Amino acid sequence: MTRLDTLRGPAEPLDHNARTIAALAVNPGCDRRALLDAAGVDKQKTAVHVGFPAPFGQSPFAITRAKSFDALVKANGCAHLLRLLRDTLDLSISEASYADISDVGGNDDHHVRHTRTRALLKRAATDGDGAGTLFDHPLLKLTVAGHEVYLEPAVIAFQIEGRFHIVEIKSFAVIDDQADAGQVAAAARQSAVYVHALRALFAAEGLDPERVSHNVVLVCPKDFANHPTATLLDVRQQLAALERQLSRLPRIDRILDELPLGITFDLETQSPDEVSKAVATVDARFAPECLASCEMSLFCRAEARDNGSTDMLGRAARDELGGIESVPAVLGLADGSRLPSTEQLEIAEQLRYVRRIYTEAVA
Amino acid sequence: MEASGIHRFPVGPLIRCGTVELDALEKRIAELRSEIRATKAAGDHATVRTLRAELRTAERAWDDALEPEPEPAKAPLLPVREQVHQALTLLGVPTATKMIVTVNEAFFAGHITTSQLTSLRRDEEKSFRGSPYARPYYLCAALTSELLSPARGLLAVSTWPMQNRIIGPLSPRADFLTSATRIAEHIMRLTGAGEDASPSAYRLLTRMAQNIPGAVDGFDQADPTQVIAAAGAELAVHEESDISHRGEAAQRAERQLNEVTQLFGAGLKTARTA
């Protein structure tokens, strides 16, 4: 039993998915999220337990819609998908092989599935033509913050002429060849995670990672019908951003070393108070953007408010304030009631200047 | 109080009585009318209201009795497994439950739902384990070619040759093309016999044809002969490799598996029969 298992308690670990990794990469400085995710703690339940249930999560309608569209595209041996790939990427008629890796002989253990994913993809990559075209539900592994996580995919890996592509099926509509920019950006960020993980797998198997294309096939409903259409999406930019963020993520070991021994987030044995205290021992870096992507955000916001932290003013304001961590400190430096330390001299002078302009303006 | 009073009179059972009972109803209506007049004269308004409600019920029953008998065919004539067997026999390949439901609806006017099929395979397996070969056929699993484990979500018929029940890498596509051909052939059989297939049958064929190269032009209704030709052309590309793959796996299955696992699949985990 590792230290992370102790933190989680007896509950089953939650899987990472592209959504969580994309969210993690958006806020790389947050130790709390990195640790909770690495330990596979159910953040939603934890937030409810400590009294800050997040009004956050996918709507059940959206999930049902996404599932039914996904089923439609993959129905009848991926009939729709094959048509789209033949149209957009000139897939030859003879390439129609399909392998489902959502379980291996009725066994859906992660390790078994991952081993099979590797075996199938390696065979497809080395044997050349006819050794596999579509691979549904490949289970990929990714090193996040020095810790290996399985990536439960909602995608298909697809091979054409020795190059592998990620196929991402999304249920937002492409109307008149235009899709919602925000949705496409989110899809691109998530696809980038899969491309990254697939490249990591190729590298681990001694294959050229560049054989995984940076062009992702995005499948969406066309116009107002439920008829799927496909477009190629270049995710090079997202991929570069993701790689940089992942490399900057604090090492989990470093965070663990700083934690007091015997601490746990076990929801069954610990009272809400104890869990809040345990969670509070890990540093968070709250930003207003967290509210859109993290289940713990309301807890962190309340904590930031209690501490009078400058975090809740947003990243831009926090960075402008040059490392002063609390709002009372900022005000104190501005009105001269608090003496600046040597490294605060410059920012203190600027604050006093701003205060002078402000008082003149409102006087 | 008044509402409960209505039911004191035995008109309800007369409703579904058919033409023979019209006389009885008319007699009852005449009786009620005279009764109402008498009660009204006596000034008992509460009873008048009850009687008039009763009269209306009787009159409605009389109207209903004039109508022809409702079609009893709405109730399923065949048990679910028979209906599934019928659809699978038409398609001739291992098929996902959703497709079975669609085919059953389009060609056999059936009303099964996917949720009725979720436990079907497990029930069949239980029955087979209890008394093997007691039924003329079993609805069983299709087997994956590599591990001979049950393929996810597919149903097949036990009387098919083992080779047809194997799912290799190309089989999903080959089976899709085969089922499109079988559906087109069935529509042609129907039209050949002077009947016409239902609009939903054509819709199903068109939907499938849209994913077969050259089977349909744009969003037009698919033409069965064109679909058969196009599906056949693509099938010819996959057939050889698919059949050799399936044949090899079928031999292996017959060699390695016992009679239960030959039908319901082997797995890395023991069959989920709990």
Q: Is A104 part of the contact surface with chain B (CB cutoff 8 Å)?
A: yes
Q: What is the pTM of this model?
A: 0.71
Q: Given this model, what pLDDT does residue B23 score?
A: 85
Tokens representing B101 are 């439901």
Is residue B150, in this structure, part of any structural domain at all?
A: yes
- B62, B87: one domain: no
Distance CA A65, CA A173 (A): 12
Q: What angle do CA A72, A68, A197 make, to 5 degrees?
A: 85
pLDDT in tens, B161-189: 989 999 988 899 999 999 999 999 999 99
Q: Determine which helix (DSSP H) or strand (DSSP E) holds A244, and give its type and residue range.
A: helix A236-248
Q: Does B214 touch chain A (CB under 8 A)?
A: no
Q: What percent of chain B has pLDDT over 90?
A: 29
Query: Same domain, yes or no, for B57 and B21?
Result: yes
* B268:A82 CB<8 A: no
Report residue B15's pLDDT band, with 50, 70 and 90 as the boundaries: very low
Query: Is A93's CB within 8 Å of B237's CB?
Result: yes
Q: How distant is the Cα of B269 from the closest Cα of chain A, in angstroms?
A: 6
pLDDT value of position B256: 86
In total, how many domains does chain B have? 2
Phi-psi category of B43—alpha, beta or left, where left has phi over 0 and alpha has psi -120 to 50? left
Q: Is residue B72 part of a domain?
A: no
Query: What confidence category does residue B53 fall into, taking pLDDT thresholds of 50, 70 and 90?
Result: very high
* B173 reaches A (C-beta below 8 A): yes
Task: State how far the Cα of B270 lies from the Cα of B20, in Å rounded to an integer.
Answer: 62
Sorting pLDDT into bands at 50, 70 and 90, what band is B195? confident
**For position B19, what pLDDT does the model report?**
58
Q: Name which of A88-102, B38-52, B193-207 the model is least confident about.
A: A88-102
Which contiguous run of DSSP H or E holds residue A353? Answer: helix A345-362
On the question of pLDDT at B3 being above 50, the answer is no
State whether residue A94 sits within 8 Å of chain B by CB. Answer: yes
Q: Which chain B residues contact residue A93 at CB under 8 A?
A: 213, 234, 237
Give yes or no for residue B73 having a pLDDT over 70: no
Cβ density class A273-289: b for 16+ within 10 Å, e for less:
eebbebbeebebbbbee
Q: Taking CB atoms and an 8 Å limit, are B169 and A103 in contact across chains?
A: no
In a shared domain, residues B134 and B106? yes
Is position B271 within any domain?
A: no
Do B236 and B109 lie in a common domain? yes
**Token duo for residue A317:** 């304001």
> What ranges do the domains of chain A cover?
3-11+28-56+251-308, 60-247, 321-363
Average pLDDT, stretch B157-161?
Answer: 90
Confidence of residue B268 (pLDDT cuts 50, 70, 90): low
A100/chain B closest Cα distance in angstroms: 9
For chain A, which residues score pLDDT lower than 70? 1, 56-58, 128-130, 145-147, 152-155, 248-250
For the segment B95-123, the average pLDDT, to the nearest whole number, is 86
Residue A217 DSSP SS3: strand
Model confidence at B20, pLDDT cuts 50, 70, 90, reads low
Cβ-defined contact of B147 to A102 (cutoff 8 Å) = no
Which position has the higher pLDDT, B74 or B152?
B152
Shared domain check, B93 and B50: no
B31 and B86 inside one domain:
no
- Could B176 and A86 be called an inter-chain contact, meaning their C-beta atoms sit closer than 8 Å? no
Question: Are B50 and B113 part of one and the same domain?
Answer: no
- Is residue A244 less than 8 Å (CB to CB) from chain B? no
Q: Distance between CA atoms of A53 and A51, rounded to whole angstroms?
A: 6
DSSP assignment, residue A143? E
CB spacing of A76 vs B267 below 8 angstroms = no
Locate B3 and state its tokens: 């509402």
User: Are residue B26 and residue B152 in the same domain, yes or no?
Assistant: no
Residues of chain B with Cβ-Cβ distance to A102 below 8 Å are 152
B248-267 residue pLDDT tens? 999 988 888 888 888 888 76
Instruction: Give pLDDT, residue B9.
Output: 47
pLDDT for the residue numbered B33: 92
Residue A10 to residues A109, A147, A266, A282, Cα–Cα distance (Å): 18, 19, 7, 20
Please identify among residues 10-29 of chain B the ones whose CB lies closer than 8 Å to any CB of chain A. none
pLDDT of residue B274: 34
Q: Is the ipTM of this complex over 0.90?
A: no
Q: Is residue B75 part of a domain?
A: no
Cβ-defined contact of A105 to B266 (cutoff 8 Å): yes
Q: B49: distance to nearest CA of chain A, Å?
A: 50
Contacts with B, A 206-225, CB within 8 Å: none
Task: Look up the domain containing B137 and give its range.
Answer: 80-264
Do both B60 and B88 map to the same domain? no
Do residue B108 and residue B200 come from a single domain? yes
Chain A contact for B234 (CB, 8 A cutoff) = yes
Residue B1: its pLDDT value, please? 40
Please compute the mean of the pLDDT values over residues B60-75 and round it to a whole number: 71
Which of A13-17, A164-168, B75-79, B216-220 comes out lowest in average pLDDT?
Answer: B75-79
Q: What are the chain A neighbours of B236 within 8 Å (beta carbons)?
A: none
CB-defined contacts A:B, below 8 A = 72
| Residue B211: both structure tokens together | 């994913």
Q: Do A76 and B170 touch (CB under 8 A)?
A: no
- Taking the Cβ of residue A112 and every Cβ of chain B, the question of whether any pair is shorter than 8 Å is answered with yes
Cβ contacts of B234 on chain A, cutoff 8 Å: 93
- CA distance, residue B205 to nearest chain A CA (Å): 13
pLDDT at A308: 85
Inspect the interface and report whether the beta carbons of A77 and B176 lie closer than 8 Å.
yes
Same domain, B60 and B87: no
Check CB contact of A83 with chain B, cutoff 8 Å.
yes
Same domain, B55 and B84: no
Per-residue pLDDT band at B148 (split at 50, 70, 90): confident
Tell me, yes or no, whether B273 lies in a domain.
no
pLDDT at B31: 92
What pLDDT does residue A250 have? 62
The pLDDT confidence band at residue B88, using thresholds 50, 70 and 90, is: very high
Q: Does residue A79 sit at the B interface (CB-CB below 8 Å)?
A: yes
Residues in a beta bridge with B144: B167
Contact A77/B173, CB-based, under 8 Å? Answer: yes
Q: Once rounded to an integer, what is the mean pLDDT over residues B65-73?
A: 66
Cβ within 8 Å, pair A77-B172: yes
pLDDT reading at B69 higher than 50: yes
On whether any CB of chain B is under 8 Å from the CB of A260, the answer is: no
